[in-house]
Every structure is written in C-alpha cells, then in structure tokens.
Amino acid sequence: MRPVTFTLNGAPRAAFAAEGQNLLDFLRRGVGDLSPKYGCGQGSCGACTVIVDGETRLACLMPAEDAAGRRVETAAGLDPQGRHPLQEAFMEHFAAQCGYCTPGMLMAARALLDRNPRPSRDEVIEAISGNLCRCTGYEPIIAAILSAAEARA
C-alpha cells in the first residue's frame, strides 16, 4: 500500500493505493467516487475517462500512484445538480440512453471545450473517438457537444 495525496474535483484527498492498482479502481473503491465507470478494463471503451492535470486519461490504464500530487477531475465534479452546460445539452439532445458511457463522454467533451471552445464537427468526432456508445449511434452526443459549445460562446 502507498499513500496517494491528490486533488479530486478541486478538493484535497488522500487514500492508500494497492500495488498495481489502477486509478479507476482506486477512485471507485478507495475514494468512493463512482462516476467513472468500469467498462472493459483494457482502455478500449473510454467509460473510465477522467481528466488529470487537464489531459484526458483512461483511469483503468493509469497506475493509481501516478495521481499523486495531481489534479484529477471526474464527472462527479461537473455540477452537483447536473446543471453544467454539457450535462444540460446531453439531456436536451437525448445524448444518453443507458447512460453508462455518459460520464466518460462528458469528460472527453469537457477537455475538448476547455482547449477549443468552438470545435468543428470533425474535432468533436475526433475528441470522442476513444469513447464507445452502443445506444445512441453518436449523432445526439455530437449534437449535444456542439450545442454546449454554442451556449458557452
């Protein structure tokens, strides 16, 4: 076990990480943030996408100890009432059906808009290309992200 001190959605946190434990398991079981989802455990689905020091990362492929001293952001930190512009846009555009991919999609979209507030449709597609959705066919998600960008502008 190693102590890991980091910030989660702006608040300082500390917990013990087991040897070889990934950040996803650490956040869910060690810290109690259930918003990043376990999909494949192989980096293929993107449901565990979180933002670390401004970059999207697959929490299932990142050793938990690598979070030490860094800023970790998850969907739980977007807005407690679900009123973040991206969350509003996802609801407005029916961009979630089963909802399992949604926290990862939101974080991929958030990282995109932070870097590029007015992305093109192609840039949105590229930004969510590491996130699988088996319900929506992606169109409503793309529309939601584009409209959130417009609403913020």
Ligand X SMILES: Cc1cc2nc3c(=O)[nH]c(=O)nc-3n(C[C@H](O)[C@H](O)[C@H](O)COP(=O)(O)OP(=O)(O)OC[C@H]3O[C@@H](n4cnc5c(N)ncnc54)[C@H](O)[C@@H]3O)c2cc1C
Residue ranges that bind ligand X, judged by CB under 6 A = 43-44
> Is position 113 an interface residue for other proteins (rule: CB under 8 A)?
no
Residue number with CB closer to other proteins (78 or 111)? 111
Tokens 């029916």 locate to: 94
Burial 109-139 (b: 16+ CB within 10 A, else e): bbbbbeeeeebeeeebeebbeebbbebbebe
Residue number with CB closer to other proteins (16 or 94)? 16
CA distance 153 to 150: 5
Cα within 13 Å of Cα(81), Cβ side: 2
> Is position 49 an interface residue for other proteins (rule: CB under 8 A)?
yes
Among other proteins, ligand X, none, the one that 120 touches (CB under a kind-dependent 5 to 8 A) is none
In the complex, the residues that contact other proteins under the rule CB under 8 A are 18-20, 22, 41-43, 46, 49, 55-58, 60-63, 65, 108, 111, 125-127, 129-131
